[in-house]
């Protein structure tokens, strides 16, 4: 055999070996199921869907829940209410740090059970200082503790939202009623928005959320609390599946002290407008110019 032929044979053998090693290396991908259906894989951006397509998508998620888990869920694509501008205020003077808001969020929004995820983090701060550097969100002792006060932080639904600006694919945007949403079908999972948010409001699905079927909240919104897929961003949506029906958000209902005030900023007679007009209101990190829809206030 001439040197040239031997070389060719060796090269061919090497190439075959390399190709089969490559095939073996990517073999785990055969178990990958990025989308439930081809429809989901090819689904258009939320804003490009017609009302009929939106309804069809909701039905599809309902059917999938029925087929895969035997669950009867209701998925709706609630649209912004005309003329309504949502706002939220939180009374730091009476919040006791019981985390019932965070727990209600956990249940309402079908969060991953093992991580006990929630869109709300409650910080225990020292009286006399608003420096979060002295805060702690992992306390477990009875509350309120002496010398401490509590500051729940969640998405501020900023009017100048840093998170929506940075998204390379417009998978997150601000709706007409002021709610910042994520299209779970469109997000590519780059987490740039998570880096951009000054309020630690965004959460990433590091894995597929785990919820026992009997614990799933069946009242679901397409842009809010439907069970999220793996690898996408999620965040507080002011419970838009509730609030766009006129109901209060779950965190507010869970608050035992009434520290939370939610309502329509466009309605001069709303509770939230009364708070903004009559209380000592402040905005977290106001200097960043994010123009939040979430306000903190003190009684005294």
Q: Rounded to the nearest whole angstrom, what is the least distance from the CB of residue 134 to other proteins in the complex?
A: 7
Q: Rounded to the nearest whole angstrom, what is the least distance from the CB of residue 70 to other proteins in the complex?
A: 20
Binding segment (CB under 8 A) for other proteins, from list 31-39, 53-61, 63-71, 174-182 = 31-39
Q: Looking at 25, 51, 52, 268, which residue binds other proteins (CB under 8 A)?
A: 25
80 binds other proteins (CB under 8 A): no
- Gap between the Cα atoms of 25 and 32, Å rounded: 14
Q: Looking at 11, 59, 66, 280, which residue binds other proteins (CB under 8 A)?
A: 11
- Gap between the Cα atoms of 183 and 168, Å rounded: 13
Residue 58 and residue 222 in contact, taking contact as beta carbons nearer than 8 Å: yes
- Gap between the Cα atoms of 86 and 10, Å rounded: 70
Residue 76: is the preceding peptide bond cis (ω within 30°)? no
Q: Rounded to the nearest whole angstrom, what is the least distance from the CB of residue 136 to other proteins in the complex?
A: 5
Q: Rounded to the nearest whole angstrom, what is the least distance from the CB of residue 92 to other proteins in the complex?
A: 12
Q: Looking at 53, 63, 64, 194, which residue binds other proteins (CB under 8 A)?
A: 194
* SS3 call for 65: helix
Query: In the window 124-183, what residues touch other proteins (CB under 8 A)?
Result: 131-144, 153, 162, 165-171
- Gap between the Cα atoms of 91 and 87, Å rounded: 14
Please say which residue, 60 or 100, places its beta carbon nearer to other proteins: 100
Q: Rounded to 5 degrees, what angle do the CA atoms 98, 103, 107 make?
A: 165
Q: Looking at 57, 76, 92, 96, which residue binds other proteins (CB under 8 A)?
A: 96
Residue 260 and residue 88 in contact, taking contact as beta carbons nearer than 8 Å: yes
Please say which residue, 17 or 56, places its beta carbon nearer to other proteins: 17
Residue 181 and residue 160 in contact, taking contact as beta carbons nearer than 8 Å: no
Q: Rounded to the nearest whole angstrom, what is the least distance from the CB of residue 127 to other proteins in the complex?
A: 16
């Amino acid at each position: 055999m001439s040197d040239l032929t031997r070389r060719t044979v060796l090269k061919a053998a090497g190439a075959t070996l390399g190709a089969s090693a490559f095939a073996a290396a990517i073999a785990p991908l055969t178990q990958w199921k990025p989308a439930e259906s081809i429809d989901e894989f090819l689904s258009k951006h939320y804003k490009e869907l017609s009302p009929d397509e939106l309804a069809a998508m909701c039905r599809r998620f309902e059917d999938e829940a029925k087929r895969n888990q035997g669950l009867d869920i209701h998925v709706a694509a609630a649209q912004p209410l005309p003329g309504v501008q949502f706002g939220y205020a939180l009374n730091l003077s009476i919040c006791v740090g019981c985390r019932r808001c965070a727990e209600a969020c956990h249940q309402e929004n079908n969060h991953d059970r093992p991580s006990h995820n929630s869109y709300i983090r409650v910080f225990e701060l020292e009286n006399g200082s608003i420096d979060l550097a002295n805060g702690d969100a992992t306390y477990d002792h009875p509350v309120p503790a002496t010398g401490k006060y509590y500051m729940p932080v969640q998405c501020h639904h900023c009017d100048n939202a840093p998170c929506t600006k940075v998204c390379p694919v417009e998978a997150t945007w601000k709706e007409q009623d002021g709610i910042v949403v994520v299209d779970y079908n469109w997000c590519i999972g780059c987490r740039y928005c998570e880096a951009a948010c000054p309020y630690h409001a965004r959460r990433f699905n590091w894995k597929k959320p785990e919820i026992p079927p009997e614990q799933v909240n069946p009242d679901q919104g397409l842009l809010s609390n439907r069970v999220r897929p793996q690898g996408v961003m999620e965040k507080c949506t002011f419970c838009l599946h509730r609030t766009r029906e006129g109901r209060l958000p779950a965190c507010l209902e869970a608050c035992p002290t009434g520290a939370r005030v939610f309502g329509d900023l466009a309605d001069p007679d709303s509770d939230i407008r009364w708070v903004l007009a009559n209380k000592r209101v402040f905005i977290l990190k106001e200097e960043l110019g994010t123009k939040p829809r979430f306000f903190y206030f003190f009684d005294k």
